[in-house]
Amino acid sequence: MTQYLLAVHHAGLFPDLPVREWEQSFADVGAVNARMRDAGAFVFAGGLLPGSATVVRQSGDDFLITDGPYTETKEHLGGFWVISAADLDAALEWARLATVACRVPVEVTPFDERSMDELLAAYHAQ
Amino acid sequence: MTVEDVFRREYGRCVATLIRFLGDIDAAEEAVQDAFTVAVTRWPSGGLPPNPGAWIVTTARNRAIDRLRRESVRDERHAQAHHLYGDAAAAAGSAFRSGDTAFRDGDFAPAQEEDIVPDDRLRLIFTCCHPALNQPAQVALTLRLLGGLQTPEIARAFFVPEATMAQRIVRAKRKISAARIPYRVPAEAELPARLQPVLAVVYLIFNEGYAATAGSLMRLDLCAEAVRLARVLAELMPDEPEAQGLLALLLLLHARSAARVTADGSLARLAEQDRRRWDRDMITEGQAIVRACVQRGHPGPYQIQAAINAVHSIAPTLDSTDWHAILTLYDQLYALTPTPVVALNRAVALAEVQGPAAGLAAVDDLRSPALDGYYLFHAARADMLRRLRRDEEAAAAYDVARSLTANPVEQAFLDARRSRPSRRQAR
Nearest Cα residue to B130 out of A88, A93, A106:
A88
Instruction: Judge: B132–A2 Cβ closer than 8 Å, yes or no.
Output: no
Nearest Cα residue to A8 out of A58, A64, A79:
A79
Instruction: Judge: A87–B132 Cβ closer than 8 Å, yes or no.
Output: no
Instruction: Judge: A109–B179 Cβ closer than 8 Å, yes or no.
Output: yes
Does any CB of chain A come closer than 8 Å to the CB of residue B132? yes
Side-chain half-sphere exposure of B345, counting CA atoms within 13 A: 17
Kindly list the domain boundaries of chain A, sorted by start residue: 2-125
For residue range B360-399, list pLDDT tens digits in order: 999 999 999 888 988 899 999 999 999 999 999 999 999 9
- Of chain B, the percentage scoring pLDDT greater than 70 comes to 86
Instruction: Judge: A112–B130 Cβ closer than 8 Å, yes or no.
Output: no
Surface-to-core class of residue B51, CB atoms within 10 Å of its CB (0-12 exposed, 13-18 middle, 19+ buried): middle
Give residues with Cβ within 8 angstroms of B311, minimum separation 6: B321, B322, B325, B326, B329
CA distance B48 to chain A (A): 39
Residue B90 has pLDDT above 60, yes or no: no
Interface test with A, best of B171, B180, B188 (most A CBs within 10 A): B180
Residue of chain B with shortest Cα separation from A4: B179
Contact B212, B219 (CB under 8 A): yes
Tell me, rounded to whole angstroms, the distance of Cα B319 from its chain centroid. Answer: 32
Q: What is the per-residue pLDDT for B392?
A: 93
Q: How far apart are CA A96 and CA A81, in angstroms?
A: 13
Instruction: Judge: A110–B182 Cβ closer than 8 Å, yes or no.
Output: no
Q: How confident is the model at residue B47 (pLDDT cuts 50, 70, 90)?
A: confident
Those of residues 68-107 in A touching chain B at CB distance below 8 A are 86-89, 92
Q: How confident is the model at residue B25 (pLDDT cuts 50, 70, 90)?
A: very high
For residue range B110-146, list pLDDT tens digits in order: 444 444 555 789 999 999 999 889 999 999 999 999 9
Does any CB of chain A come closer than 8 Å to the CB of residue B181? yes
Does any CB of chain A come closer than 8 Å to the CB of residue B186? yes
Residue of chain A with shortest Cα separation from B87: A115
Q: What is the per-residue pLDDT for B422?
A: 55
* Residue B193: count of CB within 10 angstroms of its CB: 10
Tell me the pTM. Answer: 0.80
- CB contact burial B228-253 (16+ within 10 A = b; e otherwise): bbbbbbbebbeebbbbbbbbbbbbbb
Instruction: Judge: B178–A110 Cβ closer than 8 Å, yes or no.
Output: yes
Please give the ipTM for the structure prediction.
Answer: 0.71
Q: How many CB pairs under 8 A join A and B?
A: 23
DSSP B238-283: TT-HHHHHHHHHHHHHHTTHHHHB-TTS-B--GGG--GGGS-HHHH
Does any CB of chain B come closer than 8 Å to the CB of residue A119? no
Nearest Cα residue to B395 out of B414, B408, B423:
B414
Does any CB of chain A come closer than 8 Å to the CB of residue B182? yes
Kindly indicate whether the domain formed by A2-125 is annotated with CATH number 3.30.70.1060: yes
Q: What is the per-residue pLDDT for B323?
A: 97
All structural domains of chain B? 3-109 (no CATH), 322-427 (1.25.40.10)
Does any CB of chain B come closer than 8 Å to the CB of residue A2? yes
Q: How far apart are CA B12 and CA B146, in angstroms?
A: 4
Which secondary-structure segment (H or E) carries B50? none
Those of residues 302-331 in B touching chain A at CB distance below 8 A are none
Output the CA torsion B407→B411→B413→B416 (10° steps). Answer: -170
* Residue B167: count of CB within 10 angstroms of its CB: 13
Does any CB of chain A come closer than 8 Å to the CB of residue B179? yes
By mean pLDDT, which of A6-20, A39-53, B315-329 is the weakest?
A: A6-20
Chain A residues whose CB is inside 8 A of the B179 CB are 88, 108-110
Greater model confidence, B197 or A58: B197
Widest CA span in chain B: 91
Q: What is the per-residue pLDDT for B93?
A: 38
List phi, psi (to 5°) of A46.
-170, 155
DSSP B63-128: HHHHHHHHHHHHHHHHHHHTT-TT-HHHHHHHHHHHS-PPP--TTTSPP-GGG--THHHHHHHHHH
Q: How far apart are CA B34 and CA B61, in angstroms?
A: 10
Does any CB of chain A come closer than 8 Å to the CB of residue B187? no
Q: How far apart are CA B122 and CA B103, in angstroms?
A: 29
Residue B101 has pLDDT above 70, yes or no: no
Chain A residues whose CB is inside 8 A of the B180 CB are 2, 86-88, 110
Instruction: Judge: A87–B180 Cβ closer than 8 Å, yes or no.
Output: yes
Which secondary-structure segment (H or E) carries A42? strand A42-47
CA distance A86 to chain B (A): 8
For residue range A65-124, list pLDDT tens digits in order: 777 666 666 667 888 999 999 999 999 999 989 988 988 888 898 887 777 787 778 777
Q: How far apart are CA B28 and CA B5, in angstroms?
A: 20
For residue range B210-261, list pLDDT tens digits in order: 876 445 445 668 899 999 999 999 999 999 999 999 999 999 999 998 898 8
Q: What is the per-residue pLDDT for B129?
A: 95
Instruction: Judge: A88–B132 Cβ closer than 8 Å, yes or no.
Output: yes
DSSP A60-108: TTEEEEEES-SS-SS-EEEEEEEEEESSHHHHHHHHHHHHHHHSS-EEE
Q: How confident is the model at residue B424 (pLDDT cuts 50, 70, 90)?
A: very low
Instruction: Judge: A88–B186 Cβ closer than 8 Å, yes or no.
Output: no
CA distance B31 to chain A (A): 21
Q: What is the per-residue pLDDT for B107?
A: 44
Instruction: Judge: A88–B182 Cβ closer than 8 Å, yes or no.
Output: yes
Give residues with Cβ within 8 angstroms of B352, minimum separation 6: B321, B323, B326, B327, B359, B427
Instruction: Judge: B132–A110 Cβ closer than 8 Å, yes or no.
Output: no
